[in-house]
Protein backbone atom coordinates (compact mmCIF):
# COMPACT_ATOMS: atom_id res chain seq x y z
CA UNK A 1 0.00 0.00 0.00
CA UNK A 2 1.19 3.45 -0.93
CA UNK A 3 0.30 6.36 1.31
CA UNK A 4 0.92 10.09 0.95
CA UNK A 5 0.65 12.60 3.79
CA UNK A 6 0.81 16.30 2.99
CA UNK A 7 1.98 18.54 5.79
CA UNK A 8 2.61 22.22 6.24
CA UNK A 9 4.91 24.05 8.61
CA UNK A 10 3.11 26.88 10.39
CA UNK A 11 4.07 29.32 13.13
CA UNK A 12 3.29 28.48 16.69
CA UNK A 13 -0.12 30.03 17.14
CA UNK A 14 0.94 31.60 20.43
CA UNK A 15 3.39 33.79 18.51
CA UNK A 16 2.96 37.52 18.25
CA UNK A 17 2.04 38.08 14.59
CA UNK A 18 2.95 41.19 12.63
CA UNK A 19 2.01 42.10 9.07
CA UNK A 20 5.00 41.92 6.71
CA UNK A 21 6.51 44.83 4.79
CA UNK A 22 4.56 44.06 1.60
CA UNK A 23 1.35 43.95 3.60
CA UNK A 24 0.24 40.67 2.03
CA UNK A 25 1.28 38.10 4.63
CA UNK A 26 2.60 37.95 8.19
CA UNK A 27 6.22 38.69 9.01
CA UNK A 28 7.98 35.32 9.21
CA UNK A 29 11.09 36.42 11.08
CA UNK A 30 11.49 35.49 14.72
CA UNK A 31 8.65 32.98 14.80
CA UNK A 32 8.78 29.49 16.25
CA UNK A 33 7.60 26.89 13.74
CA UNK A 34 5.78 23.60 14.09
CA UNK A 35 3.64 21.14 12.20
CA UNK A 36 0.15 22.32 11.30
CA UNK A 37 -2.08 20.78 13.96
CA UNK A 38 -4.46 19.06 11.51
CA UNK A 39 -1.53 17.59 9.64
CA UNK A 40 -0.37 15.93 12.85
CA UNK A 41 -3.66 14.03 12.85
CA UNK A 42 -3.01 13.14 9.21
CA UNK A 43 0.48 11.81 9.96
CA UNK A 44 -0.75 9.86 12.97
CA UNK A 45 -3.58 8.25 10.97
CA UNK A 46 -1.22 7.29 8.16
CA UNK A 47 1.15 5.66 10.64
CA UNK A 48 -1.73 3.80 12.29
CA UNK A 49 -2.86 2.59 8.88
CA UNK A 50 0.63 1.28 8.23
CA UNK A 51 0.72 -0.43 11.61
CA UNK A 52 -2.58 -2.09 10.71
CA UNK A 53 -1.82 -3.30 7.18
CA UNK A 54 1.93 -3.79 7.86
CA UNK A 55 2.93 -3.65 4.22
CA UNK A 56 2.73 0.06 3.51
CA UNK A 57 5.06 2.84 2.52
CA UNK A 58 4.33 6.36 3.70
CA UNK A 59 5.68 9.40 1.89
CA UNK A 60 5.45 12.69 3.71
CA UNK A 61 5.37 15.74 1.44
CA UNK A 62 5.91 19.36 2.33
CA UNK A 63 6.41 22.50 0.25
CA UNK A 64 8.63 25.28 1.51
CA UNK A 65 12.15 26.46 2.23
CA UNK A 66 14.80 24.22 3.79
CA UNK A 67 13.35 25.08 7.15
CA UNK A 68 10.28 22.87 6.56
CA UNK A 69 12.57 19.85 6.62
CA UNK A 70 12.66 20.18 10.42
CA UNK A 71 8.94 19.54 10.50
CA UNK A 72 9.27 16.74 7.97
CA UNK A 73 11.86 15.11 10.24
CA UNK A 74 9.26 15.02 12.97
CA UNK A 75 6.85 13.22 10.62
CA UNK A 76 9.63 10.77 9.74
CA UNK A 77 10.31 10.24 13.45
CA UNK A 78 6.60 9.60 13.99
CA UNK A 79 6.79 6.78 11.46
CA UNK A 80 6.63 8.03 7.87
CA UNK A 81 9.06 6.18 5.62
CA UNK A 82 10.37 8.81 3.25
CA UNK A 83 10.17 12.52 2.63
CA UNK A 84 9.48 14.52 -0.53
CA UNK A 85 10.50 18.10 0.06
CA UNK A 86 9.32 20.50 -2.64
CA UNK A 87 11.84 23.31 -2.36
CA UNK A 88 10.21 26.72 -2.60
CA UNK A 89 11.37 29.90 -0.91
CA UNK A 90 8.11 31.66 -1.67
CA UNK A 91 5.53 29.18 -0.48
CA UNK A 92 3.50 31.79 1.39
CA UNK A 93 3.04 33.65 -1.90
CA UNK A 94 1.29 30.67 -3.49
CA UNK A 95 -2.45 30.28 -3.40
CA UNK A 96 -4.19 26.99 -2.55
CA UNK A 97 -4.76 26.03 -6.18
CA UNK A 98 -1.05 26.28 -6.96
CA UNK A 99 -0.15 24.28 -3.86
CA UNK A 100 -2.68 21.60 -4.78
CA UNK A 101 -1.38 21.62 -8.36
CA UNK A 102 2.15 20.93 -7.16
CA UNK A 103 1.01 18.09 -4.92
CA UNK A 104 -1.15 16.57 -7.67
CA UNK A 105 1.72 16.83 -10.14
CA UNK A 106 3.99 15.03 -7.68
CA UNK A 107 1.39 12.36 -6.89
CA UNK A 108 -0.10 11.74 -10.30
CA UNK A 109 1.73 8.63 -11.42
CA UNK A 110 2.66 7.27 -8.03
CA UNK A 111 -0.53 5.33 -7.36
CA UNK A 112 -1.14 6.44 -3.82
CA UNK A 113 -3.96 4.43 -2.25
CA UNK A 114 -4.74 7.00 0.38
CA UNK A 115 -3.73 10.65 0.55
CA UNK A 116 -4.04 12.26 3.97
CA UNK A 117 -4.07 16.02 4.48
CA UNK A 118 -5.15 18.29 7.31
CA UNK A 119 -8.62 19.78 6.88
CA UNK A 120 -7.04 23.25 6.76
CA UNK A 121 -3.86 25.06 7.72
CA UNK A 122 -3.75 27.03 10.92
CA UNK A 123 -2.35 30.11 9.23
CA UNK A 124 -4.14 30.49 5.87
CA UNK A 125 -7.13 28.36 6.77
CA UNK A 126 -8.52 28.05 3.24
CA UNK A 127 -9.41 24.38 3.65
CA UNK A 128 -9.03 23.90 -0.09
CA UNK A 129 -5.79 22.06 -0.73
CA UNK A 130 -7.01 18.56 0.08
CA UNK A 131 -10.17 18.77 -2.03
CA UNK A 132 -8.36 20.42 -4.93
CA UNK A 133 -5.73 17.67 -4.95
CA UNK A 134 -8.53 15.10 -5.12
CA UNK A 135 -10.22 16.96 -7.94
CA UNK A 136 -7.02 17.24 -9.93
CA UNK A 137 -6.31 13.55 -9.50
CA UNK A 138 -9.99 12.68 -10.08
CA UNK A 139 -10.21 10.97 -6.72
CA UNK A 140 -13.03 11.12 -4.19
CA UNK A 141 -12.38 13.60 -1.35
CA UNK A 142 -13.86 13.12 2.07
CA UNK A 143 -13.33 16.06 4.40
CA UNK A 144 -13.16 16.76 8.14
CA UNK A 145 -12.87 13.15 9.21
CA UNK A 146 -12.88 12.30 12.90
CA UNK A 147 -12.73 8.52 12.56
CA UNK A 148 -11.01 6.30 10.00
CA UNK A 149 -11.37 2.56 9.46
CA UNK A 150 -9.67 0.73 6.63
CA UNK A 151 -10.41 -2.78 5.55
CA UNK A 152 -9.30 -4.33 2.30
CA UNK A 153 -9.52 -1.28 0.08
CA UNK A 154 -12.73 -0.12 1.71
CA UNK A 155 -12.62 2.98 3.88
CA UNK A 156 -15.23 3.98 6.38
CA UNK A 157 -14.96 7.34 8.05
CA UNK A 158 -16.96 9.57 10.32
CA UNK A 159 -17.22 13.18 9.26
CA UNK A 160 -17.90 16.06 11.55
CA UNK A 161 -20.86 18.16 10.47
CA UNK A 162 -22.23 21.31 12.01
CA UNK A 163 -24.20 21.26 15.22
CA UNK A 164 -22.53 18.21 16.69
CA UNK A 165 -23.90 15.89 14.00
CA UNK A 166 -21.65 13.24 12.50
CA UNK A 167 -21.96 11.41 9.19
CA UNK A 168 -20.67 7.95 8.35
CA UNK A 169 -19.26 7.77 4.85
CA UNK A 170 -17.93 4.71 3.05
CA UNK A 171 -15.86 4.63 -0.12
CA UNK A 172 -13.09 2.69 -1.75
CA UNK A 173 -9.46 3.65 -2.15
CA UNK A 174 -7.78 5.45 -3.83
CA UNK A 175 -9.09 8.56 -2.11
CA UNK A 176 -8.15 11.77 -0.37
CA UNK A 177 -9.20 12.41 3.23
CA UNK A 178 -8.77 15.64 5.18
CA UNK A 179 -8.31 15.25 8.92
CA UNK A 180 -10.05 17.12 11.73
CA UNK A 181 -9.38 17.52 15.46
CA UNK A 182 -10.71 14.49 17.32
CA UNK A 183 -9.50 11.94 14.78
CA UNK A 184 -6.73 10.69 17.04
CA UNK A 185 -4.07 11.76 19.52
CA UNK A 186 -0.78 12.15 17.67
CA UNK A 187 2.08 10.20 19.21
CA UNK A 188 5.30 11.75 20.45
CA UNK A 189 8.20 10.64 18.28
CA UNK A 190 10.24 8.33 20.50
CA UNK A 191 13.98 8.74 20.98
CA UNK A 192 14.94 5.65 18.97
CA UNK A 193 12.66 6.80 16.14
CA UNK A 194 14.15 10.29 16.19
CA UNK A 195 17.55 8.66 15.81
CA UNK A 196 16.32 6.45 12.96
CA UNK A 197 14.68 9.36 11.15
CA UNK A 198 18.03 10.77 10.12
CA UNK A 199 18.69 7.69 8.00
CA UNK A 200 15.42 7.96 6.10
CA UNK A 201 15.30 9.30 2.56
CA UNK A 202 14.43 13.00 2.27
CA UNK A 203 14.61 14.17 -1.33
CA UNK A 204 14.35 17.79 -2.39
CA UNK A 205 12.61 18.59 -5.67
CA UNK A 206 12.69 22.15 -7.08
CA UNK A 207 9.23 23.72 -7.20
CA UNK A 208 9.62 24.66 -10.86
CA UNK A 209 9.60 21.00 -11.82
CA UNK A 210 6.11 20.58 -10.42
CA UNK A 211 4.39 23.94 -10.65
CA UNK A 212 2.21 23.75 -13.75
CA UNK A 213 -0.88 25.53 -12.50
CA UNK A 214 -1.41 29.27 -12.71
CA UNK A 215 -2.59 31.26 -9.74
CA UNK A 216 -6.28 32.13 -9.84
CA UNK A 217 -6.39 34.42 -6.88
CA UNK A 218 -4.04 36.63 -4.96
CA UNK A 219 -4.05 38.24 -1.57
CA UNK A 220 -4.49 42.00 -1.72
CA UNK A 221 -3.91 42.85 1.84
CA UNK A 222 -3.36 41.25 5.21
CA UNK A 223 -4.36 43.34 8.21
CA UNK A 224 -5.52 43.22 11.78
CA UNK A 225 -9.23 43.95 12.07
CA UNK A 226 -9.89 47.32 13.61
CA UNK A 227 -10.42 47.11 17.32
CA UNK A 228 -14.09 47.39 18.12
CA UNK A 229 -15.07 49.73 20.91
CA UNK A 230 -14.88 48.38 24.46
CA UNK A 231 -17.35 45.68 25.45
CA UNK A 232 -20.86 46.29 26.54
CA UNK A 233 -21.24 47.00 30.23
CA UNK A 234 -24.60 46.34 31.80
CA UNK A 235 -25.39 47.51 35.26
CA UNK A 236 -27.96 46.69 37.89
CA UNK A 237 -29.02 44.09 40.44
CA UNK A 238 -28.26 40.41 39.67
CA UNK A 239 -31.85 39.50 38.67
CA UNK A 240 -32.09 42.58 36.51
CA UNK A 241 -28.69 41.83 34.98
CA UNK A 242 -29.77 38.32 34.07
CA UNK A 243 -32.90 39.61 32.33
CA UNK A 244 -30.94 42.19 30.38
CA UNK A 245 -28.34 39.64 29.39
CA UNK A 246 -30.98 37.17 28.18
CA UNK A 247 -32.57 39.90 26.13
CA UNK A 248 -29.27 40.85 24.52
CA UNK A 249 -28.41 37.22 23.78
CA UNK A 250 -31.81 36.74 22.16
CA UNK A 251 -31.69 39.87 20.08
CA UNK A 252 -28.06 40.04 19.05
CA UNK A 253 -26.89 36.44 18.93
CA UNK A 254 -28.14 33.02 18.01
CA UNK A 255 -27.20 31.58 21.39
CA UNK A 256 -30.75 31.76 22.72
CA UNK A 257 -33.77 31.30 20.50
If the CB atoms of residues 74 and 94 are measured against another protein, the closer one turns out to be 74
Q: Which residues bind another protein (CB under 8 A)?
A: 34, 70, 73-74, 77, 188-195, 197-198
d(CA 144, CA 175): 14
Of 26 and 33, CB closest to another protein: 33
- Smaller CB separation from another protein, 40 or 105: 40
State the nearest-atom distance from the C-beta of 11 to another protein, in Å: 14
Start-to-end Cα distance in the chain: 50
CA–CA gap between residue 148 and residue 250 (Å, rounded): 39
What is the Cα 108 distance to its own chain's centre? 20
Please state, in angstroms and rounded to a whole number, the distance separating the CA atoms of residues 65 and 88.
Answer: 5
Burial (CB < 10 A; 0-12, 13-18, 19+), residue 76, is buried
**Least gap, CB of 35 to another protein (angstroms):** 10
**From the CB of 188, what's the least distance to another protein, in Å?**
5
Q: Pick the closer one to another protein by CB: 9 or 178.
A: 9
Question: Least distance in Å: CB of 197 to another protein?
Answer: 7
Report the nearest approach of another protein to the CB of residue 184 (Å).
15
257 CB neighbour count, 10 Å cutoff? 5
| Calpha distance 215→95 (Å, rounded) | 6
Cα angle: 48, vertex 40, 157; to 5 degrees: 55
Determine which helix (DSSP H) or strand (DSSP E) holds 20, and give its type and residue range.
none
By C-beta, is 44 or 95 nearer to another protein? Answer: 44
Residue whose CB is less far from another protein, 191 or 255: 191
Rounded to the nearest whole angstrom, what is the least distance from the CB of residue 229 to another protein in the complex? Answer: 22
Q: Which residues contact 130 (CB under 8 A, 6 or more apart)?
A: 6, 100, 115, 117, 118, 119, 141, 143, 176, 177, 178
Amino acid sequence: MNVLVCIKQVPDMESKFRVDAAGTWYDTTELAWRMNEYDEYAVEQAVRLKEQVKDADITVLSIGSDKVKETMKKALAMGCDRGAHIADDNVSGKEPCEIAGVIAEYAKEKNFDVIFTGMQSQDRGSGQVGVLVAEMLTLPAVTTIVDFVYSDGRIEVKRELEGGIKAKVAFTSPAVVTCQLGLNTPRYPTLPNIMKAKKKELLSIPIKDLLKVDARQHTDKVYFPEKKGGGLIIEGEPAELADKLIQILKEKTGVLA
